[in-house]
């Protein structure tokens, strides 16, 4: 369990070209991550068993959830049920915070999507 995270510019994992992720904190039931997303990049469609709740801190993305596109701007949020196909097109450099429930074990081990 990692209960506290102090802000740092280090420890980002390059998930894909132009997409970085950092696990911030986690408990026994949920895990919080920060994503740094570069303009012009895409997060390919994928799915996982974890529910995923997110908040766009800055930027602009088009989020595709189960075949439907959503324009997301700073201050917007979302919740993606587990086992639902989703991806994103990065329109502007963006920062997002996402919480996964249950904990994504692969994010504890430093692996990607």
Q: Which domains does the chain have, with CATH numbers?
A: 13-108 (2.60.120.10)
Highest mean pLDDT among 4-8, 12-16, 21-25, 96-100: 96-100
- The structure's pTM equals 0.92
Tell me the CA distances in angstroms from 1 to 62, 70, 101, one per residue in order.
33, 33, 14
Dist CA 32 CA 100 (whole Å): 6
pLDDT of residue 14 exceeding 90, the answer is yes
With a pLDDT cut of 90, the percent of the chain lying above it is 84
């Amino acid at each position: 369990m990692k209960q506290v995270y102090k802000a740092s510019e280090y420890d980002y994992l390059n998930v894909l070209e132009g997409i970085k992720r950092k696990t911030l904190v986690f408990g026994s039931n949920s895990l919080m991550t920060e994503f740094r997303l570069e303009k012009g990049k895409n997060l390919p469609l994928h799915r996982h068993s974890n529910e995923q709740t997110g908040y766009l801190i800055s930027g602009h993305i088009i989020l595709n959830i189960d075949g439907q596109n959503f324009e997301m701007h700073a201050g917007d949020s979302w919740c993606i049920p587990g086992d639902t196909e989703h991806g994103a097109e990065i329109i502007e450099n963006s920062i997002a915070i996402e919480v996964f429930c249950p904990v994504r074990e692969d994010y504890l081990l430093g692996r990607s999507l």
